[in-house]
Structure 1
Amino acid sequence: MLADHVEGRHFTNKDDILIYLMNEYGTMVKRLAFSYVKDKSLAEDIAQEVFIAAYKNLDSFKGESSYKTWIYRITMNRSKDMVKSKAFRMVSLSHIMNPFKKSSTSTEVEVIRKENNNKVVECIFSLPVKYREIIYLFYYEDLKIHEIHQITTINTETIKSRLRRGKQLLKNKLSAEDLQI
């Protein structure tokens, strides 16, 4: 049954709900897809597929989870399917996810930060998927452990373990890179 109230808002039809979901989660869907496929155009294709699937299944959405976790799950499943179906090569990661805030520092410092950021992102993307997806959801999407559990259906203790192990692997990779932050 189609919900006429979505996360505190009233809608009259499926089209309005889809527009809301696309506006609310479109960027997140593309970023999450990119974290799997490492290609902007493929991530955009996955985002289209995610929202087509969401639209087709809006009538059967039971509300057992939030729309946010439902969209995350669809995105992860579509992304994993894409990765399984094609061979991927690394692409330039220079303009994706910038955890460093802009400041009024010198150009030299900004160049070093940008270069280090690229190395951090490359190191994250070089992690095995089971660690990368947990680190991405926890740090870049600011999800809590229980929200990651709802999305991935992975046991919360396993999530915590993968988060610890992923951080350790990342720390080791970054130490090997000898970053100047």
Structure 2
Amino acid sequence: MSFDEIIDKYKDAIFRMVYVHIGDFHRSEDITQEIFIRIYRSLSKFRGDSSIYTWIYRISINTIRTYAKKDRTIADTLSVDHMEDIPDDAWDEEKLVEGLQNSSVISLIQRLPDKYKEVLVLYYYQDLKVEDICSVLNEPSGTIKSKLHRGRNMLKEMLLKEGVSNG
């Protein structure tokens, strides 16, 4: 696959992933550009030990981690004040998934610890399967499933505490 094909195929997905992590449009553009520079510089070293998209997502996650370590002030960039309360028993995974498209939910995801945020973003926003996330993050399936479960629960608690609903 040529570099131009990689850009065409992955630019939107990579940008969305960065944006959900970072929450700032212009910084996300800069980080996305940095990711593609790193991909370009490393493309000749790609050995095919994994799929190309796994390799690209691994580069993306590592780049996001680097930027996140430099600046821990990336969370909480969007307001959740306009959302309405819902009862505790109203939450189920379907409602959580629907709510993941809400900008207020994105701001809460940005406040999660990175290890949970990464897994939730890859699973819900990049539509990667658990096995693919294992390859991207180089972690066993049980660890990914555990992080996904814990991340969902943490997000659910944050949503209920903030009084955020998905509708």
The answer as to 2:115 corresponding to 1:130 is yes
Match of 2:128 in 1: 143
Structure 2: 5+ residue stretches without partners: 80-97
SS in structure 2 of the partner of residue 72 of structure 1:
helix
- Closer, same or farther: CA 126–85 of 1 in aligned 2, 3 Å: closer
Alignment RMSD, CA only? 2.2
The answer as to 2:151 corresponding to 1:166 is yes
Match of 1:74 among 48, 59, 63: 59
Amino acid at match of 1:170: L
Between the aligned partners of 2:76 and 2:154, the Cα distance in structure 1 is: 21
Q: CA deviation at 1:72?
A: 0.6
Match of 1:26 among 4, 7, 11: 11
Amino acid at match of 1:145: V
Greater mean deviation of Cα atoms: 67-76 or 34-43: 34-43
Match of 1:64 among 49, 52, 65: 49
Between the aligned partners of 1:21 and 1:60, the Cα distance in structure 2 is: 15
Does structure 2 conserve the Cα–Cα contact (< 8 Å) formed by 1:138 and 1:145?
A: yes
Match of 2:84 in 1: none
Percent identity of equivalent pairs: 35
Question: Aligned residue pairs: how many?
Answer: 147
Match of 1:48 in 2: 33
Does structure 2 conserve the Cα–Cα contact (< 8 Å) formed by 1:37 and 1:88?
A: no
Between the aligned partners of 1:169 and 1:19, the Cα distance in structure 2 is: 39
Amino acid at match of 2:138: T
The answer as to 2:137 corresponding to 1:152 is yes
Between the aligned partners of 2:102 and 2:18, the Cα distance in structure 1 is: 20
Between the aligned partners of 1:87 and 1:177, the Cα distance in structure 2 is: 21
Between the aligned partners of 1:165 and 1:84, the Cα distance in structure 2 is: 22
Match of 2:163 in 1: 178
Structure 1: 5+ residue stretches without partners: 1-5, 7-16, 95-112
Relative to the length of structure 2, the TM-score reads 0.78
Alpha-carbon displacement from aligned partner over 1:75-131 (angstroms, at most 9, x marks no partner): 11111111222342446448xxxxxxxxxxxxxxxxxx99x9232222211211111
